[in-house]
Amino acid sequence: NAGVTQTPKFRVLKTGQSMTLLCAQDMNHEYMYWYRQDPGMGLRLIHYSVGEGTTAKGEVPDGYNVSRLKKQNFLLGLESAAPSQTSVYFCASSYSSGGAIEQFFGPGTRLTVL
Amino acid sequence: GENVEQHPSTLSVQEGDSAVIKCTYSDSASNYFPWYKQELGKGPQLIIDIRSNVGEKKDQRIAVTLNKTAKHFSLHITETQPEDSAVYFCAAGFGNEKLTFGTGTRLTIIP
């Protein structure tokens, strides 16, 4: 079991460029999440998905889009990167339990936007 | 929405002493309170959690206490060891399966 994996691990973009971050999980989890982590601000939810084909906005969704075409994958897209999107991005997944439950996190992607 | 505050932001303790991290939450509907440990360069990992029908939970050197009336919960680490040095996050969640995280505590164990 690889758990939750993220691709790439590091990326440097110029302002205005686009990119997609890939998250994959092999635990057959229904729920998947994208967070960003900034110094002094903890983990903030960007978007999440409660199942294949569904997505929903989190706390800080502006400037990001997501897709969940397959149950095991959750993609985070930046259409036009801005320096304010410099951050460490974490993907997480959890199984559906009818209530809040443990989330399993990936190793993170460090993104720098120049 | 839920708001979780965490204190202190940094904490240094001598090896062998105890460490306590405190969190408060705002939404009385929250019923799940996990604690995550994040080591350098890695993703957060669950170390202990508690649900609202329980006041205290222990797992070896780690314990969590919950006061629902006051809306606060705490992480206690006893007999601290160098490998306990990390960033710790509290979180609160309820039926929609989203978690709201605190801002983190950087714990340093001094040998």
Contact B32 A101 (CB under 8 A): yes
List all residues of chain B from 8 to 37 with a beta carbon under 8 Å from chain A.
9, 30-32, 34, 36
By C-alpha distance, the chain A residue nearest B40 is: A107
* A106: nearest CB among B43, B98, B102: B43
Q: Tell me the pLDDT tens digit for each residue of B26-48.
A: 999 999 999 999 999 999 999 99
Q: Do residues A95 and A101 make contact, with C-beta atoms less than 8 angstroms apart?
A: yes
Task: Tell me how far apart the alpha carbons of residues B43 and B50 are, in angstroms, rounded to a whole number.
Answer: 21
Residue A89 corresponds to which tokens in the numbers above? Answer: 């991005």
**pLDDT for the residue numbered A93:** 95
Q: Does residue A17 register a pLDDT over 70?
A: yes
Reported as a single tens digit per residue, the pLDDT across A27-62 is: 999 999 999 999 888 999 999 999 999 999 999 999
Contact indicator for B6, B90 with CB cutoff of 8 Å: yes
What's the token pair of residue A48?
């999440």
CB contact residues (below 8 A), chain A span 14-43, against chain B: 31, 33, 35, 40-43
pLDDT tens column, A66-88: 999 999 999 999 999 999 999 99
C-alpha A60: how far from chain center: 12
CA distance A41 to chain B (A): 5
Give the three-state DSSP class for A85: helix
Instruction: Say what the pLDDT of residue A75 is.
Output: 98
**A61-65, A89-93, B50-54, B57-61 — which is least confidently predicted?**
B50-54
Indicate the pLDDT class of residue B106, thresholds 50, 70 and 90.
very high
CB contact under 8 A, A100 and B93: yes
Neighbours of B65 (CB within 10 A): 18
| Amino acid B99: pLDDT | 92
Tell me if B4 sits within 8 A of B23, measured CB to CB. Answer: yes
The rounded distance, in Å, linking the Cα atoms of B95 and B18 is: 33
Between B53 and A24, the more confident residue is: A24
Confidence of residue B52 (pLDDT cuts 50, 70, 90): confident
Backbone angles phi, psi at A85, to 5 degrees: -95, 5
Is residue B96 predicted with pLDDT exceeding 70? no
- Beta-carbon separation of A101 and B97 below 8 A: yes
